A and B are shown apart, each in its own frame.
Chain A
Amino acid sequence: MTQHWIDIRNADVVMIIGSNAAENHPMSFKWVQKAIDKGGTLISVDPRFTRSSSKAHLFAHMRSGTDIAFIGGIINYALQNNLYNEKYVKECTNALFKINTGFQTCAEGDLGVFSGLDKTGGGTLFGHDVDCKYNKSTWAYQGTAGPPFVPVLAADLNDPDCAFQLLKKQFAPYTINQVCEITGSDPVVYEQICQAYCATYPDDKSATIMYAMGTTQHTVGTQNVRSYAILQLLLGNIGVAGGGINALRGQDNVQGSTDMCILEHILPGYIKQPTGMDVDMATFIANWADSTKIIEPAHDYTVNGTPGTDPASSYWWQHGEKYMASLIKAWWPTEDLVTGYNRLAKKVSGKNYSMLSIFDAMYHSELNGFICDGENPAVSDPDSKHVRAALRNLQWMVVIDPFKSETARFWEFDVDGNPLTTTQMAAINTTVYLLPAAVAYERAGSRSNSGRWAQWHWKAAEPPGVAKDDLVIITELGLEIQAQEAASPGIYPQPITNLNWPYFSYNSADDAQTRAEKAAMEVNGYYLNPDGTIDTTVNPSGLVPKFTLLTTTGTTCSGNWLYCAQFVDPSSTDGFETANPGMFAATVGNRMARRHCPDAPNGGPLADPSYPNIGLHSYWSWCWPLNRRIIYNRASTYQSDGGANGNAGAPLAPSKYVMRYNGGWKGDVPDHGAAPGGVYPFIMHKEGHAHLFGPGRAEGPFPSHYEPIESVVANPMGNYQVNPIVHIYDGAVFTDGLAPTPEFPIAATTYRLTEHWHTGSMTRNLPWCNQVQPEPFVEMSEELAALKGINNGDPVKVSCARGDISVKACVTKRFKPFQLNGQTVHQVGVIWHWGYATPNPGDSGNVLTPFVGDANTRIQESKAFLVNIEKVVP
C-alpha cells in the first residue's frame, strides 16, 4: 500500500477491483464503511457479484483477465473529457518528457505491440507469439547525450512527442463500447463508473484502489497494476489522503516477507540481487544503476553520489551502495567489504528463480532438497498435480508448519489425493522432516501489515508439545549448520562459518522475545567498530537512529535499511516519545511496540486547530520508511505557488491534508525533508517524476490488453492474442480456446472465502471454520447450470487440460454469462482452500490453474483459464 488501512476512510471514491475485500479482508470494510458513511462512493468490479459488491453503489461485471481494458477505458474517458489534474500531471509525472520519435504505441504500426518487438528466439503457442523480447532503444526520453543526460521537456501537454500525448494515443481505442465488448460489462454502468471515478480529479478529491491477487495473478499482472498507477496519477490521487494504490496483502506478514526478500530478484530492502556478472561491489553498483536507469541512452542524474544535472531530483537509490554495504556488514561484520561481498551467494545471470521455475527444476530433478517454511504448495501452486509430482523427485524436504499440510503428506497420496498403499508409499524416495511450528499467537516478534506498519506482538500462549517458534527453528538450524560446517568444512565454508549468528542455544521458553528483539535490532542496524563489534560511542546501545546515517565504508550495519529506525536507543527518541514515557510498553526503544491510541501526526498533536486528523496514528507501532504513513506525500502539496490556495507546500486538499509547510513540514513525515519545490515528489525515480510512461516493464511502457493464455475470446486490440513476452515452460499443458470447437470452453477463475484462510491447512483443522464452509464448490450462473442440467448443490466435475476436481455446484444469479459482440462467454469460479490432508477433504482449485506466469514477475495466472463442467451422475 502507498497508504495504510485507516486512510481508506479518507477516500471520496473507493474502487475494489481484483479484490473481494469484504470476503478476504473483512477488517478493511471497517474503513470502507467509514468512507461510505461520510458520503463516499463504493465501486466494485468483479467477474461475479461478491460480498464486497453487496455494499457497492456501483457494480460492474468484468470478465476475468480484462483489467487493462476496464481501466484503460477509464483512462481514455479521463483524457477525452479533460477530467485529469493538469497541474499534478505536469509537475509530478513524466507527462511532459519528450519520448524518442522512433517510439510507437500499440495503436500504430504493428497493432498490439510497441516498437522494438524482437521475435528472434521467441516461439508460438497455438500460433500466438510468446517468449519474445523487446529492444527498448526507442522507449527512451529525448535528451542530450550524456552523461550527464538532460531530458527535453515539452512546453505543454499538446506536444505530440510528450509522454502524455503518447498515453492518449495508446488508450484512444479503449472507447466505452470497445471496452465493454472485451470485459462484458454493461456500458451504462461502465460509463457511470467512469464518471464517478474521474470526478476525483480536482485537488480536494481523492479515490483509492484496493486490489489483490485478482489483479496480479495474470500473465499481464504487472501491467494491470501499472494501469491503476497511471489512472491514479492522471487524477492526482497518489500521495494524498484517501488515494493511492493499495495492494491488500493475503496474510498478515506478506508485506514483511516481501520487504525481507522473499522474492528471488531482491535482497532485503529491495536491493537488487547480484548475479555472477557482478564480480565485485563496484561492478554490482554500476550494473544496478544501469538496470534502474529508465531509458537508453544512459540517463545519469545522480548516481554513485555524483550529483547530476537536476538538483531537484533526489533519486533515492543513489544511496543504494550504503544499504548494500550495511547489509553485508550485518551478515559478515568481521569481514571487510570486499571479502563480505564475495561471501554473498550470486544468482546465475539470466536464470529465473521464481516459484514456477523452482518447481520446474524440481520436476526435472535439478533440485535435491527443499525447505518449506509456512507454505503449502501442493494446494497453492498452479497445476497442483504437477507440483505434487515434482515433490517426488526430491531427496529430502523439511516442512515447518503447525499442521501436517498436504505438502507434508504428499507421499501418502497420489497426485489426485487418493491414499496410497504402504508399498506405493515406499516407492517414493523423498525423506520428509516435519518441524512442528508455533502459530502467530504463540510467538513474539513483529509483523508488517499491508500498510507497512511493523507491529510488535507478544506471545499469548505457549506452543503445544514440541512445536517451536519459527525464529527458534531457524536460529537453531543456523547454529547447527555453522557447527557442522566448522567441524567438516566444505569447499567454501567461510560464508557460513563467518556469518553473524548472534544466537545462543535454545534453553528457555522466554527466549523467544529476547531472540526476536535481537533479530529486530540487527535488522535496524548498529554502528560498528573496525573489528565488527558494536560501536557504542555514538549512543550506549550502538543502534543507528535512521537510514540516512548508514555508510558505504563498513562503519554501520543494517539487515534492512527500510527498517532502520524501528529500534532506537532511548537517547534517539523524538520529543513526543520522550514526553510520553509510557509509549514503548515494556521495551524502551522498540518503536514497533508503541501503542499510543489517539490519532496524532508526526511529532505529536499539532497546535494547528485546522489539522484534520486523517488517521495517521503516527505513534501506534511504526512503519517504514521512517514512520511515513503515506508515501510520496510531497505530491499532496503545491509544488509551486498555489495562488489563492497558498504558497508552495500548502496542501492541495485542506480538509484532509497530509502535511503542510510552514517553515518546516507538519503532519506526516515528509517524503524528503527539503523545502517545497526543492525536491520532486517521486524520489525513487532518477528524474523524480512518476511514470505515466514506464519503460521498466518487459512488455511495454504502457499497458495494452492481451487475453489470458487460455481464452475463448479473440483479442480485438491488435495482432497479438497473448502477452508476447510471456515465458512458456517446457511441458506445461494448455488448451486452445480459439479452436473451432474448444474442448474446454468455459472461462474460470479461482478465489477464497471469508470462512477459510489460504491453503486451509489451519482453518480446515478448525471445526468451527469447517462447519460454516464445509466443502469446496464451483459457482456458476443459472444460465450455464440450465445448459448443463445442473441444480444448485449437485455434485459436479470441473475439468481442464491439466486435470479435474469433483466439487458441489453453487448456482447463483451472482454470476452472469458475458455477452461480447455476439459471443456468449460463460464464467465459473472455483475455490482453492481445500486439499486431501484434513477433515472435510476436497481438492484445490489450483489443480486446474495453468503453469504459466506474468512476464515480469512470474506470478501464476490463477485468475483466468478454461474448464469444462459436467454433472456427476452417481
Chain B
Amino acid sequence: MAKIAMMIDTSKCIGCKACQIACQQWHSKPAEDTSFTGSYQNPEDLSGASLNVVKFIEVGNNGDLRWLFFPDRCRQCVDPYCKDACPLGAIKQHRMGFSGVNEARCDPSKCQMECQTACPFKTGSPTPMGIPRVGYMKDGELQDTKAQKCDFCYDRIFNPTLRGADDSAGIPNFDGEFVNSRRPACELSCPTGAIRAGYAEQIISWAKARIRYLKNNGYPNATGYPGLYTHVVWVLTEDRSVYGL
C-alpha cells in the first residue's frame, strides 16, 4: 500500500501557531500552565498536552537578522525506534507508514518510558528528551497522561464522517485545492500552506523541488530535514544546526 508523508515548509511558515492549537484541540488536550519567559514560543517544549509546538529562533543581527519558525513534533520514523522499544507494544504503526500511541495499552507506570529513551530526536532544553512525552502541568500540579506524540491524525484522514475528496479509494486526495476536511488538523489549519500531506512519493518530490527552488532564490543554505527515514520532512531555509537540530 502506498505510504503517506507530510512536508513542513518553514520558508512559508509565519509562526502563527494555528497548527499547534489545532493539534491540541483535535486531540482534546487541555491548555497547560505557561508563563512568558522572553520568547514567543510557548509552551517551551512538547509535553503530554502539546504534541506540536512551534519553536521560535532568532539568528543573525541587523541586516542579516532572521526569525525562524519550526513546528516541532514527532518525525514519524519509517522504522519507529519508539515502537520497537516499548515493552508493552503500545505504539502501533499503520501500514501507510505513520505510527501512534495505542493509549489502551500504554501504561507509563509499568515501564521506564523506553519509547522516549529510544527516540533519537531529542528536543527541549536544558535536558533534551525523546519525543513521546508524559504529563503536563496544570494549575501548578503535574497531570498524568499516557505517552503522547503525533499520530498523523489517523482519526481524521480515515474518518468517514469528515468530508473527503476521494471516498471510494478510502484515502483522501491530499493534493487538491478544494475543500477537504480529512486532512491532518495541522495541515488544514495552516494559513499559508506550509504543511502538506499526501502520498510519500509526491511529497518527497515536492520537498526536493522546493529545496532546489529556495537554494536559487535567496536561501543558499536551504536543506531538508531529517533525511530519508521519516514520514515527516521539513524544508529548512538554513542549515539544520541553525535550528539547533
State the CA gap A268–B161 with chains docked (Å). 44
Asked whether A754 lies within 8 Å of B16 as measured between CB atoms, the reply is: yes
Asked whether A792 lies within 8 Å of B38 as measured between CB atoms, the reply is: yes
| Chain B 22-54 near chain A by CB (<8 Å), digits 1 or 0 | 001100001111111111101100000000000
| Chain B 173-208 near chain A by CB (<8 Å), digits 1 or 0 | 000001100000000000111000000000000000
State the CA gap A770–B17 with chains docked (Å). 13
In the assembled complex, B69 has its CB within 8 A of some CB on chain A: yes
In the assembled complex, A354 has its CB within 8 A of some CB on chain B: no
Find residues 51-73 in chain A having any chain B CB closer than 8 Å to their own CB.
Answer: 51-55, 57
In the assembled complex, A82 has its CB within 8 A of some CB on chain B: no
Asked whether B38 lies within 8 Å of A809 as measured between CB atoms, the reply is: yes
**Known interface pairs A597-B178, A772-B34; 5 further A-B residue pairs with C-beta atoms within 8 A, sorted by A's residue number:** A22-B14, A597-B179, A768-B24, A772-B21, A813-B65
* Nearest chain A CB to B233 CB, angstrom units: 19
In the assembled complex, B127 has its CB within 8 A of some CB on chain A: no
In the assembled complex, A322 has its CB within 8 A of some CB on chain B: no
Asked whether B42 lies within 8 Å of A54 as measured between CB atoms, the reply is: no
State the CA gap A815–B172 with chains docked (Å). 45
- The chain B residue sitting closest to A53, CB to CB, is B67
Stretch in A23-31, A413-421, A476-484, A600-608 with 4+ CB within 8 Å of B: A23-31
State the CA gap A755–B17 with chains docked (Å). 8
Asked whether B16 lies within 8 Å of A768 as measured between CB atoms, the reply is: no
Nearest first, the 5 closest Cβ-Cβ pairs linking A and B are: A767-B31, A792-B38, A771-B31, A793-B38, A22-B14
Asked whether B65 lies within 8 Å of A186 as measured between CB atoms, the reply is: no
Stretch in A119-127, A433-441, A773-781 with 4+ CB within 8 Å of B: A773-781
In the assembled complex, B86 has its CB within 8 A of some CB on chain A: no
A→B interface (CB under 8 Å): 22-23, 26-27, 29-30, 33, 49, 51-55, 57, 186, 189, 597, 753-755, 767-775, 777, 792-793, 808-814, 816
B→A interface (CB under 8 Å): 12, 14-18, 20-21, 24-25, 30-40, 42-43, 58, 60-63, 65-69, 178-179, 191-193, 218
Asked whether B25 lies within 8 Å of A51 as measured between CB atoms, the reply is: no
Q: When A597-B178, A812-B58 are in contact, do A772 and B42 touch as well, CB less than 8 Å?
A: yes
Cβ contacts A to B, 25 pairs, < 8 Å: A22-B16, A27-B191, A33-B192, A49-B67, A51-B14, A51-B16, A52-B14, A54-B15, A54-B66, A54-B67, A54-B68, A597-B179, A754-B15, A754-B16, A754-B17, A767-B30, A771-B31, A771-B34, A771-B42, A772-B34, A774-B36, A793-B37, A811-B38, A812-B58, A816-B62
Asked whether A186 lies within 8 Å of B192 as measured between CB atoms, the reply is: no
A753 contacts across to B, CB distance below 8 A: 40
B60 contacts across to A, CB distance below 8 A: 813
State the CA gap A332–B173 with chains docked (Å). 55
Asked whether A813 lies within 8 Å of B35 as measured between CB atoms, the reply is: no
Q: When A768-B21, A771-B42, A813-B61 are in contact, do A54 and B69 touch as well, CB less than 8 Å?
A: yes
A186 contacts across to B, CB distance below 8 A: 63
Asked whether B63 lies within 8 Å of A26 as measured between CB atoms, the reply is: no
B65 contacts across to A, CB distance below 8 A: 49, 813-814
- Which of A27, A51, A52, A809 is the most central at the interface, judged by chain B CB atoms within 10 Å of its CB? A51
Asked whether B20 lies within 8 Å of A772 as measured between CB atoms, the reply is: yes
B58 contacts across to A, CB distance below 8 A: 812-814
- The chain B residue sitting closest to A809, CB to CB, is B38
State the CA gap A754–B25 with chains docked (Å). 17
| Candidates B15, B31, B35, B66; contact of A51 at CB < 8 Å | B15
Asked whether B18 lies within 8 Å of A26 as measured between CB atoms, the reply is: yes
Asked whether B191 lies within 8 Å of A29 as measured between CB atoms, the reply is: yes
Asked whether B61 lies within 8 Å of A26 as measured between CB atoms, the reply is: no
State the CA gap A30–B30 with chains docked (Å). 29
B178 contacts across to A, CB distance below 8 A: 597
State the CA gap A189–B63 with chains docked (Å). 9
State the CA gap A57–B24 with chains docked (Å). 33
A189 contacts across to B, CB distance below 8 A: 63
B20 contacts across to A, CB distance below 8 A: 772
- Which of B15, B43, B61 is the most central at the interface, judged by chain A CB atoms within 10 Å of its CB? B15
* Nearest chain A CB to B42 CB, angstrom units: 5
Q: When A189-B63, A812-B58 are in contact, do A777 and B16 touch as well, CB less than 8 Å?
A: no
Asked whether A810 lies within 8 Å of B42 as measured between CB atoms, the reply is: no
B40 contacts across to A, CB distance below 8 A: 753, 773
A23 contacts across to B, CB distance below 8 A: 14, 16
B15 contacts across to A, CB distance below 8 A: 22, 51, 54, 754
Asked whether B31 lies within 8 Å of A808 as measured between CB atoms, the reply is: no
